[in-house]
Amino acid sequence: MDDLERGILIMFDEWGAVDDELKKQAKSYCSNIKEKPSVCRLCIEKLCCSNLVQVQFWCLQTLHEVIRTRYSTISPEEKHMIRGTVFSIVCLEDKNPVRVLEGPPFIKNKLAQVFIALIYFEYPLIWSSVFVDFLPHLRKGNVVIDMFCRVLNALDDELISLDYPRTPEELTVAGRVKDAMREQCVSQIVRAWYDIISMYRNSNQDLCTIVLDSMRRYISWIDIGLIFNDTFLPLLFDLILVGAPSDQLRGAAVRCLLAIVSKRMEPQSKLSLLQSLQITRVFRLVTEDGNAELVPDIAALLSGYAVEALDCFKRISSEDAKQISMELLNEVLPSVFHVMKNFEVDATLNIVQFLSGYVSTLKSLTPLSEKHILHLGQILEVILVLIRYDPVYRTNLDVMDKIGIEEEDRMTEFRKDLFVLLRTVGRVAPNVTQLFIRNSLGSAISRPSDSNVEEVEGSLSLLYALGESLSEEAIRTGSGLLNELLLMLLSTKFPCHSNRLVALVYLETVTRYVKFIQDNAQCIPIVLAPFLDERGIHHPNNSVSRRASYLFMRVVKLLKVKLVPFIAVILQSLPDTVARFTTMNYTTEEISGSEDGSHIFEAIGLLIGMEDVPPEKQSDYLSSLLSPLCQQVEALLRSAKLLSYEESKARIAVIQQIIMAINSLSKGFSERLVTASRPAIGNMFKQTLDVLLHVLVIFPRVEPLQNKVTSFIHRMVDTLGASVLPYLPKALEQLLAETEPKQMSGFLLLLNQLICKFNILVRDILEELFPSVADRIFSVIPREGLPSGLDAVTEEIRELQELQRTLYTFLHVIATHDLSTVFIAPKCKAYLDPVMQLLFYSSCNHKDVLLRKACVQIFIRLVKDWCAQPYEEKVPGFRSFMIETFATNCCLYSVLDRSFDFRDANTLVLFGEIVVAQKVMYDKFGDDFLVHFISKGFSVAHCPPDLAEQYRQNLQGSDIKALKSFYQTLVENLRLQQNGSLVFR
């Protein structure tokens, strides 16, 4: 063993017997050998004398790399030597002392790759006889035949197949190789395939399988007549039908038939091929016992055949030909349906896509024939079978463990295409679809409860999915069989309703079709029942109960006034649910998403909050709900000081639940009702607000609790309107006292809501709060901005960025709602300079263009508010700041910077605001602004006098669009002139 062989063995060591350093040295040594001019000769010598598979593989790998990357540098003599040696190895010629073909498959595959690398460069111009010379060697038996198939497979993988991305050069070479093979040797290769299969079909099925799988790859581009003839076709059918000794060989023959069927050709020629194929011969294979292993391939063949027949129908214009295409489809579809209903096959989704195309085609055929209606019914049967869960997962899906979650997710994704198909069938044949669903539902109902869970769930899912394609009018009127179907749905109590999946899909389906009740008020009691009894809100499964609460709220929203006569009955069925929501046990249960159970309170609020409810009853209903909840909060607060930390956590969780409940309850009451028509209702909510604000005193700095109280104040602002104003100072003071600086975003959002709702009515409140707000925020946000870039953005920085964005919105809302006097109020003046500096810096530099725009808009509004008259000095120094600092830096230097991209839509919006700012400053400051802007700003930017004069004229004009257009042109000219960016002054 020489050094190279030792190096290769060390490099390929997989047992951990060699340390990393030695392996690294071996790799470097072998890499250096690869770069030597004599490496090809060395590799050939090693291939002919070394029995080590590692050495053989390295040599073949190196030859492949050198031929692919340095073919032009190899001398003619070496090329001849490589060609001769490789050919002698693959053909088992006597002069080859080492039998590489007796090695493992990966060696033979790499050898085939080397062979194809030579063909890439040399066939047919240099090595024109390669395939013709190879064929006689096939008589040597299975070793050479196997190698010949590997070569053909490698040729397909490396060059011909379009399943892989190809460069233009590779496509050109592939075309050249295929043209040469068609002219020279394809017919001989096909004959060889036939002879090998005929000879070895009973003695070596594995070899025949390899040959057929190789042949399948070539059918798509060789002359179809070489395979589709009276010689080869009977052989394939004989293997399939008479029965080859192995299912693998039969499957390979089926895959060849599929390649024949799928070959691209003119539709008339394809139709003739499909007719001649007599595909009906294989139909029995999917119904006979003993063919289970063959079914996936048969399924692919049948679906492929059906796809091609449908394609012929679509592409051919002749009515006779269309009729033939449809007859072929009618023949094959029953077998396709049988396979889909009775076997699990990988091709299911492809078949579903075909069926969608088939059903869409039937839209143009009116009226539908009995055969087509039969097929549509069979398609619906297929859908129902495929969407059913496997009973083996029943318990997992009911308790929703890890396996159950995974299975539900998988089925949800799998069902998507099937439900699209269902809706397509529903549009083409609505009565057929509705009748099928009615019958499947009736059949499911009649079966024993322990066996029909999946059947019921599947039938209900069909009805639910169908509703997505029906118009609101169709649902409301119960068109067709829908009236009967929905009455059947509403009046049925399934024995398996305790199952989570059945309960959920039933409630979802009832909710989807609840518009039907609008014209059928007599059905309201039977609609309410499943939501209010053990099938819904009182279901033993918590996820069903919570989902039922949410869906019931949606039903109430839709039916609303029609439910007024039933309010008492509804409320009488809910006290245990309402009470359970605020218990310790409930708060410790896992809550998924937004379905936390509070929707039942929203539903109750929507019911009792209507003006159709008599005032006395409304007050009684609301009091019976609010009073116990408030009393419960007060009791929890009284005992809070005596509790341990863990006990306090439990009490806090309950209080959170109560606040959520009251919040949801209040959503049903309008501002007009609680403030104008029935103020007594408003007083109840005000008293509730008093109670809940005390929570912040007893449990200070508890962020989740604080968020809930904040949310409730938001709700009361919308519900109580201006009547809430007297309560706000105390509420906001308490909230602010409990809010950490970094958590100020939520507080600012509340202030924004108040400003937008009440405008100047909250001026006094704002003047009182602004100093504390500004002090807290400026303690954590630097005035020159926050770090940017991926490396600099931590979770803490992200929180501060969010706070900063909310602050800009807050300042913008103040300025644009006639509250700019807050900035200059006696208590707030100390923060005017920090605010102005932050806004100024951001208007020039902030990475977020929309935030820059907001800052510019704030300055525009401040100029209008504080400088209403020429030379007015309402805010000392503001006028000179705008003229000398803001105008030049923001309106000129910042837009001259190359980062200001006029191709960006948001940047153009910002630019428009900057132009408006100049116009407003000119209107308010006159020539003082203009002279300084031109003499200082334009002179630093080296603006030519003629352009400065044109700017003056445009600014003094009244056309803001013309000013914007000219100023953009001016900026772009100055950029070209200065060939760089200015430093802000």
**What average pLDDT does range 701-730 have in this prediction?**
91
**What average pLDDT does range 198-206 have in this prediction?**
92
Length of the chain: 985
661-681 pLDDT per residue, tens: 999 999 999 999 999 999 999
**What average pLDDT does range 922-938 have in this prediction?**
91
* Residue % of the chain over a pLDDT of 70: 94
Q: What confidence score (pLDDT) does residue 854 get? A: 96
Encoded tokens for 63:
């030859």
Residue with tokens 């109580």: 720
**What average pLDDT does range 397-422 have in this prediction?**
93
Describe the crossing of helices 370-387 and 348-362 by its angle, rounded to 10 degrees.
150
| Radius of gyration of the chain from its Cα atoms, rounded to whole angstroms | 40
- CA–CA dist 256, 227 (Å, integer): 9
Residue with tokens 């080296």: 942
Q: Confidence class of residue 980 from pLDDT cuts 50, 70 and 90?
A: very low
Q: Confidence class of residue 224 from pLDDT cuts 50, 70 and 90?
A: very high
Q: 383, 412, 409, 407: which is closest to 393 by C-alpha?
A: 407
- CA–CA dist 292, 286 (Å, integer): 8
In this predicted structure, the answer to whether residue 937 has a pLDDT above a threshold of 80 is yes
- Residues 6+ positions from 509 with CB-CB distance below 8 Å: 460, 463, 464, 467, 489
Q: Confidence class of residue 791 from pLDDT cuts 50, 70 and 90?
A: low
Q: What confidence score (pLDDT) does residue 646 get? A: 72
533-575 pLDDT per residue, tens: 999 999 999 889 999 999 999 999 999 899 999 999 999 999 8
CA atoms within a 13 Å half-sphere pointing along the CA-CB vector of 761? 14
**CA angle, 137 then 138 then 140, to 5°:** 75
578-603 pLDDT per residue, tens: 888 877 666 555 444 455 678 999 99
Q: 87, 95, 93: which is closest to 123 by C-alpha?
A: 87
Q: 603, 518, 612: which is closest to 561 by C-alpha?
A: 612
In this predicted structure, the answer to whether residue 611 has a pLDDT above a threshold of 70 is yes
Which region, left, alpha or beta, applies to residue 161 given φ > 0 means left and ψ of -120 to 50 means alpha? Answer: beta
Q: Is the CB of residue 34 less than 8 Å from the CB of residue 62?
A: yes
Does the CA dihedral 793-797-798-804 come out positive or negative? negative
258-279 pLDDT per residue, tens: 999 999 999 999 999 999 999 9
Q: Confidence class of residue 985 from pLDDT cuts 50, 70 and 90?
A: very low
In this predicted structure, the answer to whether residue 330 has a pLDDT above a threshold of 70 is yes
**What average pLDDT does range 225-232 have in this prediction?**
94
Mean of per-residue pLDDT scores for the chain: 89
Q: What confidence score (pLDDT) does residue 786 get? A: 64
In this predicted structure, the answer to whether residue 499 has a pLDDT above a threshold of 70 is yes
Lowest mean pLDDT among 523-537, 631-645, 695-709, 720-734: 631-645
Please tell me what DSSP assigns to residue 882: I
Q: Is the CB of residue 970 less than 8 Å from the CB of residue 934?
A: no
Q: Which residue has the higher pLDDT, 875 or 782?
A: 875
Q: Which residue has the higher pLDDT, 872 or 529?
A: 529
In this predicted structure, the answer to whether residue 792 has a pLDDT above a threshold of 60 is no
Strand ranges inside 203-269, DSSP E: none
Q: DSSP of 847-893, one letter per residue? A: S-HHHHHHHHHHHHHHHHHH-SSTT--SSTTHHHHIIIIIHHIIIII
Q: Number of helices (H) and strands (E), helices first, in the chain?
A: 50, 0
Q: 728, 729, 694: which is closest to 713 by C-alpha?
A: 728
In this predicted structure, the answer to whether residue 238 has a pLDDT above a threshold of 60 is yes
- CA–CA dist 851, 845 (Å, integer): 10
623-649 pLDDT per residue, tens: 999 999 999 999 888 887 767 767 788
**What average pLDDT does range 607-611 have in this prediction?**
94
Q: Is the CB of residue 680 less than 8 Å from the CB of residue 732?
A: no
Q: What confidence score (pLDDT) does residue 883 get? A: 93
- Residues 6+ positions from 204 with CB-CB distance below 8 Å: 142
In this predicted structure, the answer to whether residue 652 has a pLDDT above a threshold of 70 is yes
Neighbours of 538 (CB within 10 A): 17
- Residues 6+ positions from 935 with CB-CB distance below 8 Å: none
- What are phi and psi for residue 592, nearest 5 degrees? -100, 120
Q: Is the CB of residue 309 less than 8 Å from the CB of residue 318?
A: no
Q: What confidence score (pLDDT) does residue 95 get? A: 60
- What are phi and psi for residue 595, nearest 5 degrees? -85, 75
**What average pLDDT does range 428-437 have in this prediction?**
92
The 3-state DSSP composition of the chain as helix, strand, coil percent (nearest 5) reads 80, 0, 20
Beta bridge partners of 136: none
In this predicted structure, the answer to whether residue 240 has a pLDDT above a threshold of 50 is yes
pTM score of the predicted model: 0.79
Q: Is the CB of residue 57 less than 8 Å from the CB of residue 107?
A: yes
Q: Looking at this protein, which amino acid is placed at residue 525?
A: P
Q: DSSP of 193-228, one letter per residue? A: HHHHHHHHTTT-HHHHHHHHHHHHHHTTTS-GGGTS
Encoded tokens for 939:
């002179």
Distance of CA 59 to the CA centre of its chain: 47
Q: Is the CB of residue 684 less than 8 Å from the CB of residue 625?
A: no
Collapsed DSSP state (helix, strand, coil) of residue 897: coil
- CA–CA dist 155, 160 (Å, integer): 6
Neighbours of 1 (CB within 10 A): 10
**What average pLDDT does range 872-890 have in this prediction?**
90
Q: 698, 739, 731: which is closest to 712 by C-alpha?
A: 731
Does the CA dihedral 698-703-708-713 come out positive or negative? positive
Q: 532, 572, 575: which is closest to 556 by C-alpha?
A: 532
- Residues 6+ positions from 240 with CB-CB distance below 8 Å: 250, 253, 254, 257, 282, 285
38-74 pLDDT per residue, tens: 899 999 988 888 888 999 999 999 999 999 999 999 9
- CA–CA dist 915, 951 (Å, integer): 11
